[in-house]
């Protein structure tokens, strides 16, 4: 499985996050409806924010910089979700007087798939995502002060018939 875990909570988080929202389904012979792509923030044993590709604007969550958050990218489809891809990155701004330095970095895309074909019993949903603590990205050059930090993720879900759906860039952020 392609997941990053911090704080030793991997198996517990896996049990709590995935099982409650997904169910078994059969891959149909045809399907022209795209899946639903989801973004969620999981912290302290619960989903603290969630949004879908079907609902207006993506989530934007003010995070405690010293806490770990599981940033979830998921897909659900009544005929089964084949693949979810989570692209993720951070950006920060450091200031010194009237000057600003912007920095950013890309994470390696996280991909989770399940096998199956027409007639197979599969899960309606697939998920993956990084565990992030904003403090880990809060370093500025000497003499500069952090003014903002954002960690973003973008989700693409695909079903077994090649239909795709994306969830716009969700984010957690901190303004010191």
- SS3 annotation, 28-60: CCCCCCCCEEEEEEEECCEEEEEEECCCCCCCE
**What's the average pLDDT block by block, 10 residues per block, for the chain (176 residues)?**
30 42 93 95 91 84 97 95 97 96 96 96 95 96 96 97 94 96
144 Cβ contact list (under 8 Å, min separation 6): 94, 95, 96, 101
DSSP 8-state class, residue 109: P
How far apart CA 102 and CA 144 sit, in angstroms, is 11
**Residue 20: what pLDDT?**
65
Contact, 20 vs 14, CB < 8 A? Answer: no
The domain limits of the chain are 10-174
Q: Which helix (H) or strand (E) holds 169?
A: strand 164-174
Question: 62: which strand partners?
Answer: 173
């Amino acid at each position: 499985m392609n997941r990053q875990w911090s704080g030793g909570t991997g198996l517990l988080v896996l049990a709590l996050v995935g099982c409650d929202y997904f169910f078994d389904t059969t891959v149909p012979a045809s399907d022209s409806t795209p899946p639903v792509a989801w973004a969620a923030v999981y912290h302290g044993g619960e989903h603290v924010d969630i949004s879908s590709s079907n609902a207006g604007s993506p989530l934007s969550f003010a995070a405690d910089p010293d806490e770990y958050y599981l940033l979830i990218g998921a897909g659900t489809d009544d005929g089964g979700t084949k693949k979810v891809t989570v692209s993720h990155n951070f950006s920060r701004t450091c200031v010194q007087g009237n000057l600003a330095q912007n920095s950013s970095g890309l994470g390696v895309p996280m991909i989770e798939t399940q096998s199956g074909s027409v007639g197979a019993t599969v899960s309606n949903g697939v998920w993956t995502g990084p565990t992030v603590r904003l403090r880990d990205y809060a370093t500025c050059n000497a003499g500069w002060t952090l003014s903002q930090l954002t960690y973003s993720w973008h989700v693409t879900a695909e079903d077994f018939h090649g239909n795709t759906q994306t969830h716009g860039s969700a984010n957690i952020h901190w303004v010191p």
